[in-house]
Structure 1
Amino acid sequence: MIQTDLSSFSYKKGSLLPWCKRCGAEHFYRDGKNKKGIQKYECRRCGYRFVWTCDLPRYNVFSEVISFAVEVYTSTGLAGSLRGIAKLVSKAFGIKISYEGVRQWVLKSQKEISR
């Protein structure tokens, strides 16, 4: 079963651990870096080589993080501050996000909903 959710989230390291995009294995070798300097991996099980990227194009975070932030904002309404939500996301996922990023996600999600 290939994982596509936050089940591989490492609370010790505070980051998502890579898994093979072909077979779903979590055991891999580091396989150098590509021309842009991004780490490449090779699966120990099937030998597939891949670059670990986010599930959304042109984003540096996973969709679960964005949906969590937008859900917290909509559930608290205007009472929740963007800085508070950014701190909450930082504590929950171990990644640093600016309040401006949260604001952009909220605006983009509101545009999508209004369509």
Structure 2
Amino acid sequence: MNSELNVNQNDLVNAWQERLPTILKPGDHAEVAADMANPQALRIHIASAGRQEYSFDFECRYVDSREVEVKLVDVERAGAVIDERNENVQGMAGDYTRHIHECAQALQQITHQ
């Protein structure tokens, strides 16, 4: 049986804010915030590098101390919401989802004690 997450949400946000940029591609920019509605979740905003001006919003919820569930909430291009079913956008969202899972694994030393 996996254990519950017993980490202060602010400490978690700080750890993610430090670690996630090291996992993303150079030029991508990430902001991590506490999910005010759920102490077991984070909100992650990623602005992709390049001229296309894509930005992605994810909800990252801890299922337990080791595993996260990542949900794409919203995709914007140059500040306007776009259809995330576009193949290019789906590919980018998939990459970011993998990076978020990678970051969660890298932070298991603080989440799984």
Please classify the TM superposition score into its range, dividing by the shorter chain length: 0.3 to 0.5
**TM-score, normalised relative to structure 2:** 0.32
Richer in helix (by share): 1
When normalised by structure 1's length, the TM-score is: 0.32
More strand by share: 2
Higher relative contact order (CA 8 A, sep 6+): 2
